[in-house]
Amino acid sequence: MKKWMRALPIDERVDALLAEMTLPEKVGQLNQPANVSPGPDRDALAAGRIGSSLYASGALGGNVRDEGLSIRAIEQCQRIAVEESRLGIPVLFGRDVIHGHRTVFPIPLGLAAAWDAELVERLCDVAGSEALREGVAWTFAPMVDISEEPRWGRVAEGFGESPALSGRLAMAAVTGFQRHIGATAKHFVGYGLAAGGRDYESVQVGENTLRNLHLRTFKAAVDAGVLSVMASFNDIDGTPMHANRRLIREVLKQEWGFDGVVVADWSGIGQLVDHGVAADARDAARQGLLAGVDLDMASGVYLAHLESLVGDGEVPLDLLDDAVRRVLRMKFRLGLFDDPYPRTTADPIGPTAATRALAREAAVASMVLVANDGILPLSDQVESLHLTGPFVDEGEALLGTWVLDGRGADVPSPLVAFTDLLGDRLTHTDGRFSDLAAHRTRAAAVTVALLGEHPSRSGEANSVADLGLPAGQLEALKQLCGLGKPVVAVVFGGRPLDLAEVLRVASAVIVAWHPGTEAGPALADVLFGRREPSGRLPMTFPRSTGHVPSSVHARATSRVLDFTRDAWDGRYLDALTQPQLPFGYGLSYTTFRHGGPVASASEVPFGGQVEVSAQVTNTGQRAGRELVQLYLHDPVAEVTRPKLELLDWQWLDLAPGETGTAVFTIGTDAFGYFGRDLTWRVDQGLVRLITGRDATASAAVEVRIVAAGADE
């Protein structure tokens, strides 16, 4: 038996296999073409020239459906690689399993609105399990880019603007996926800062901001054991990330000790030529490998040029070996050498009754009630209800962006769900709003208008210059609301939108994102009060497109923004500065009163902990769920810091009249940051800990960090 096939520690198996490999075989492990098939690619598979493959419809796979996975094709390719190649190294097959596989859950931004790491872990566990049963061993998720730029379509794929929330959900996603398949933290790094919200654009940012904000989520994923990290398309201050040795090789690999695989984004290494920093494909391959990108997705430049680059001494052999070692290590960690073939089963992959129940739970948890004049919850005894708008009988569109294997036919539409509940008390008008919609609105006790974005308007390469609703929707909504009957607006979409006029005219507004497989039943659950709307916004909703960027990241400036003064009371002459809906915002069907925070001590030594507690009382007539959010404000630091930074959060389930207490245990490391010299520091001095229901919270308690033993 070959050494690498024995029951040895993984690194010993990797070293033994690497010692047997020729230079062409090593290069082959770093080559990832798309959509490998047993016919055209037989010779390359048998020669060990293909190390991995992804199955996608193309460079914009999230926007175009493909023909789905073929377990038989994957198995045939794997048998060629394992049984016909000289060393029998299995191929690693990847797929974009972003927010579900056959069972589709809410888009990641919607999942973030649930503020529930345990839920995200469960969902990713299901998605990984379903994908594995179709031959997928690796997904290119989670996306953990931090962005305060809702014009950028890819905010739909992320967990929002807060590093604390996004980082914790990233760790949960990695844990869930990697019970079955490998996960990828993407896109490293700064992609969410793309200029103007235009996909693939340049990024201007310093390393201090990267460390204090954008790198934090990737560090969380690495700490959770993520097996791979994907480089981003953008440049940072002139250096494309696929050639960024400083951030990839020095920070990610050396400083953090990441021993997994750095994979290129689609043709990202070859596109160094398009960036204008590589003279040709050979030069691009040289720069990519030197920077630390281990695996070349789709461009083919490693396969074409690495052998000669090593032979000519332009790429050191030890760097090539390090990249190959990482790829082999990942394959061993995933168990591919011991069990390389897909596991077929007669059981349905999904959606099943159990996965539908989970999808419904997730969709309900993601929906955010942002306005309500008392019309909600609706009574299931309502005399008549009119359902209107472009999503009335939609299934496919409510799955959201980046859905490769879910099926619209599996989705009960809002029309189906509401018909099941109301029968002939329901009327509806499909498609665009119309005169018939106005007529039926007049006749109905209440109208539910389904507004928002089709998923083709979010995700990769789908940026917008205007955050308003798609053309015609707002005008039609105003007409319906002007008829004097209650209108509930449900807004589907993949980004924060400008909802100022919607909030002004509608009786109630729910942000429903793209909810996934159980879209219709989940919406009915929330509107009819069978479940509480507990979602809270994971991104700021700006007052207008012109207010972007608008987020909880705002830092102290030279002239303090003070809304209580006549001078400097805003940064615009023609508009208020505050967001339309702040980060963390969301309503319930009951009301809550928050007490101020109380600290267990006024001083805490370095390395110590402090408990912060806050009482919340349900002052309404229904049981409800309230999110208590804990924020930090550091008034004096070596670098400018956010005026409000999320530290932690806690859910409280309270009966009418009941008071509960949220208790947070905070170590002093949570008060730290990267200073001017880019090293981590925790300062002595005062910090303010603030609790409340969203980022407008102001009730604070002060705690002083002191040197250990200072009170002795």
Of 344, 365, 296, the closest CA to residue 324 belongs to: 296
Residue 163 half-sphere exposure, CB side, CA atoms within 13 Å? Answer: 19
Q: How far apart are CA 549 and CA 699, in angstroms?
A: 26
Q: Are strands 385-388 and 426-429 parallel, antiparallel or unpaired?
A: parallel
- Residue 467 CB burial class (10 angstroms; 0-12, 13-18, ≥19): buried
DSSP secondary structure of 84-118: HSSS-PPPEEEE--SSBSSSBPPPHHHHHTT--HH
Of 248, 184, 192, the closest CA to residue 54 belongs to: 184
CA 287 to chain centre: 29
Q: How far is CA 238 from CA 265, 290, 301, in A?
A: 18, 17, 22
Q: How far apart are CA 301 and CA 286, in angstroms?
A: 9
Question: With contact defined as beta carbons under 8 Å apart, do 172 and 181 qualify?
Answer: no
Question: With contact defined as beta carbons under 8 Å apart, do 29 and 89 qualify?
Answer: yes
Residue among 41, 265, 296, 525 flagged as catalytic: 265
DSSP secondary structure of 145-209: -----TTSGGGGGS--S-HHHHHHHHHHHHHHHTTTSB-EEEEETTGGG-GGG-TT--B---HHH
The DSSP letter of residue 280 is S
For residue 490 the two structure tokens come to: 């449900």
Q: Give catalytic status of residue 653 as yes or no.
A: no
Enzyme catalytic residues: 265
